[in-house]
């Protein structure tokens, strides 16, 4: 292996928007994520809709109008 071309791994923390903090090794310092295994619906078993700019309502409205046109 060549010398001095591989990144250095160091201990760092990953912090989630929900407040969960995970310690791990990485080449980056202090990572921030929006969703983790403590708050992700797949792991928690609860449904949580993250709505950005009313997109969920737009989809529901569009789907409802398309469904009524089919009948």
Rounded distance between C-alpha atoms, residue 32 and residue 26, angstroms? 13
User: Is the sign of the CA dihedral 45, 61, 63, 57 positive or negative?
Assistant: negative
Per the model's pLDDT, the better-predicted residue between 68 and 4 turns out to be 4
Rounded distance between C-alpha atoms, residue 51 and residue 18, angstroms? 16
Q: pTM for the complete prediction?
A: 0.53
Domain ranges of the chain: 10-70
- Residue 71 clears pLDDT 60, i.e. is over it: no
How does pLDDT run across 1-37, given as a tens digit for each residue? 788 898 889 999 999 988 899 999 999 999 998 888 8
CATH no. of 10-70: 4.10.80.400
How does pLDDT run across 37-55, given as a tens digit for each residue? 888 777 777 766 666 667 7
Phi and psi angles of residue 22, each rounded to the nearest 5 degrees, phi first = -120, 130
Average pLDDT over residues 53-70: 76
């Amino acid at each position: 292996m060549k010398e001095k071309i591989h990144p250095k791994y160091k201990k760092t923390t990953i912090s989630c928007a929900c407040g969960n903090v995970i310690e791990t090794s990485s080449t980056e310092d202090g990572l921030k994520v929006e969703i983790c295994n403590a708050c992700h619906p797949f792991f928690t078993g609860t449904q949580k809709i993250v709505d950005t700019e009313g997109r969920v309502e737009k989809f529901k409205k569009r789907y409802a109008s398309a469904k009524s046109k089919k009948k």
